[in-house]
């Protein structure tokens, strides 16, 4: 079974995000970038499935600027077999990414696609669902446990009411939640081996997709600073402040 794992290059989660002075976006120049943590979980799950003998090949896919190849190398060092980079300077939004992944899936014919449930930069949480709709494949979103059973797969997913278990037939789409696994650190020997693994370089035109964004960002601004809280001496004083100051009751 071949597994396709999309990986996104984002601002590292340890970095404090700063808004550009002109309000057009966030500052990325000179900022540490890394693989989206949810995608990292996806790579780890694919590698574990391969270690169990359920998968034969793992293909890591990234889209964007040439530096996205570094993100693919990280996935290769974790255990992926080869990579595909779709190089473009366009602002990639979920629908465009889903269309590009659909074209790659039709070319590669994977049995399973594992995506992070969302990226920590835009928090869209839409690409996996859009891809499933475009391909007409069953989907198991917010997965916290995955079990391969013959020609099918069972996914335990996290929902508002607790846990839900769904049975899918392959090929299928899965999006990962935080509790699915804990990604491994790439060892130095594997990092060295990753340099020799192949990465195919494509353009959106090669896949017949126009990545032009459909949404326009009008302005990006930092959230307003929260006022300091105050202590109240009694429930009656709290109720009074909620009425007269907060005006929420």
Q: CA 225, CA 231: separation in Å to the nearest integer?
A: 19
The vertex-135 CA angle with 81 and 212, nearest 5°, equals 85
Instruction: Classify domain 2-246 at the CATH topology level.
Output: Rossmann fold (3.40.50)
What's the whole-number average pLDDT of the chain?
A: 93
Domains in the chain: boundaries: 2-246
Q: What are phi and psi of 176, to 5 degrees?
A: -95, 145
Q: What is the predicted pLDDT for the residue at 42?
A: 97
| 16-29 confidence digits (pLDDT tens) | 888 988 888 888 88
Confidence of residue 230 (pLDDT cuts 50, 70, 90): confident
| 197-208 confidence digits (pLDDT tens) | 999 999 999 999
248 pLDDT more than 90? no
Confidence of residue 228 (pLDDT cuts 50, 70, 90): confident
Q: What is the predicted pLDDT for the residue at 56?
A: 95
11 pLDDT more than 90? yes
Q: CA 164, CA 83: separation in Å to the nearest integer?
A: 33
| 27-57 confidence digits (pLDDT tens) | 888 899 999 999 999 999 999 999 999 999 9
| 69-103 confidence digits (pLDDT tens) | 999 999 999 999 999 999 999 999 999 999 999 99
Identify which has the larger pLDDT, 152 or 5. 5
Four-CA torsion 175, 180, 184, 186, nearest 10 degrees: 0
Q: How far is CA 212 from CA 58, 61, 99, 131, in A?
A: 29, 19, 12, 17
| 123: its two tokens | 């928090």
Percent of the chain whose predicted confidence (pLDDT) is above 70: 100
């Amino acid at each position: 079974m071949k597994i396709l794992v999309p990986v996104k290059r984002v601002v590292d989660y340890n970095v404090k995000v700063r808004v550009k002075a002109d309000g057009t976006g966030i500052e990325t120049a000179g900022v540490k970038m890394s693989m989206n943590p949810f995608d990292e979980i996806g790579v780890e799950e694919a590698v574990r499935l391969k270690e169990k003998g359920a998968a034969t090949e793992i293909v890591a896919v990234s889209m964007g600027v040439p530096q996205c190849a570094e993100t693919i190398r990280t996935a290769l060092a974790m255990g992926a077999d080869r990579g595909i980079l779709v190089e473009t300077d366009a602002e990639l939004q979920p629908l465009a990414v889903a269309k590009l992944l659909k074209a790659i899936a039709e070319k590669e014919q994977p049995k399973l696609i594992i995506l992070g449930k969302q990226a920590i930069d835009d928090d869209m949480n839409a690409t996996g669902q859009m891809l499933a709709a475009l391909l007409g494949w069953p989907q198991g979103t917010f997965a916290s446990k995955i079990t391969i059973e013959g020609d099918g797969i069972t996914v335990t997913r996290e929902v508002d009411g607790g846990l839900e278990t769904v049975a899918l037939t392959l090929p299928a789409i899965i999006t990962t939640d935080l509790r699915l696994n804990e990604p491994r650190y790439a060892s130095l020997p594997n990092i060295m081996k990753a340099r020799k693994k192949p990465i195919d370089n494509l353009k959106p035109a090669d896949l017949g997709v126009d990545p032009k964004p459909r949404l326009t960002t009008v302005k990006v601004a930092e959230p307003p600073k929260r006022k300091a809280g105050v202590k109240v001496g009694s429930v009656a004083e709290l109720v009074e402040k909620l009425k007269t100051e907060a005006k929420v009751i």
